[in-house]
Amino acid sequence: MANRTLLIGTAYGFVKVVRNGRESDAYSNELANSGGVRCPLVVDCQHPRTLFAGTARAGVLRSDDDGETWVAVNDGLAKPDVWWLEQHPVTGELWAGVSPAGIFRSADRGEHWHECEQLQTLPRIGEWTFPHPPHIPHVKHISLRPDDPADILAAVEEGWLIRSRDGGQTWTNLTAGPEFDSHTAYFVPNQPRTLISTSGQGVYRSEDNGASFSRSDAGLDRRYMAQIAMHPARPDVMYTAAAAVPPPGWARSEGAHSAVYKSTDTGKSWTRLTGGLAEDLKAAPRAVAGDPEDPESVYVGFTDGAVWMTEDGGASFRPAAHVGFYGAKDRPAGVTSLRVIAA
CB 278 within 8 A of CB 272: no
pLDDT at site 328: 44
Residue 172 CB coordination number (10 Å): 13
Mention every residue, 6+ apart, whose C-beta is less than 8 A from residue 170.
Answer: 118, 164
What is the rounded distance in angstroms from the CA atom of residue 272 to the CA atom of residue 115? 40
With beta carbons less than 8 A apart as the criterion, state whether 105 and 113 touch: yes
The model's pLDDT over 137-196, given as tens digits with 9 standing for 90+, comes to 999 999 999 999 999 999 999 999 999 999 999 999 999 999 999 999 999 999 989 999
Cβ(277)–Cβ(317) below 8 Å: yes
Q: How many residues comprise the chain? A: 343
Residue type, 183: H
CATH class entry, domain 32-216: mainly beta
> So what's the pLDDT on residue 324?
74
Compute and round to an integer the Cα radius of gyration of the chain. Answer: 18
Predicted pLDDT at 279: 86
Per the CB < 8 A criterion, the answer to whether 257 and 284 are in contact is no
C-alpha angle with apex 53: 98 to 35, nearest 5 degrees?
70
How is the chain split into domains, by residue range?
A: 32-216
Percent of all residues in the chain with a pLDDT value above 70, rounded to a whole number? 94
pLDDT < 70: residue spans in the chain: 1, 21-24, 26-30, 32, 325-332
